[in-house]
Amino acid sequence: MAAGKLNLLSRLLAMARHAVAVFRAKETPFYVKIILGLGLVYIVSPWDLLPEALPVIGILDDFTLAALLIAWANGFRLPNEDDPGDKQ
């Protein structure tokens, strides 16, 4: 059970690192950088749709947005990445 949780955590961290790499890559379209940047600003800003004063629910919008942004950024491939389908 602990190995499964560790595997999930390592996959989540890898996805987050990829999202940062997509944001930093010069080949990334400008609109992608704008969306990722605005999402990050929303997450760290004190203004939320659901205030943190509401237990659990208040922070849920931040986690949901972070998960959506990371998943969306992972749909972009960087030019220096190998295509998994090319490996034999």
What pTM was computed for the model? Answer: 0.72
Letter string b/e over residues 3-14, b meaning 16 or more CB atoms within 10 A of that residue's CB = eeeeeeeeeeee
Q: Measured between alpha carbons, how far is 40 from 53 in angstroms, rounded to an integer?
A: 20
- Give residue-wise pLDDT tens across range 1-46: 577 777 888 988 999 999 999 999 999 999 999 999 999 998 888 7
Q: Is the pLDDT of residue 62 over 80?
A: yes
Q: Classify residue 23: in a domain, yes or no.
A: yes
How far does Cα 65 stand from its chain's mean position? 8
Q: Classify residue 6: in a domain, yes or no.
A: yes
Q: Classify residue 86: in a domain, yes or no.
A: no
Domain that holds residue 61: 2-78
Q: Classify residue 18: in a domain, yes or no.
A: yes
Banded model confidence at residue 86, pLDDT cuts 50, 70, 90: very low
- Give residue-wise pLDDT tens across range 14-25: 999 999 999 999
With CA atoms as reference, report the closest residue to 43 among 26, 65, 76.
Answer: 65
pLDDT of residue 85: 45
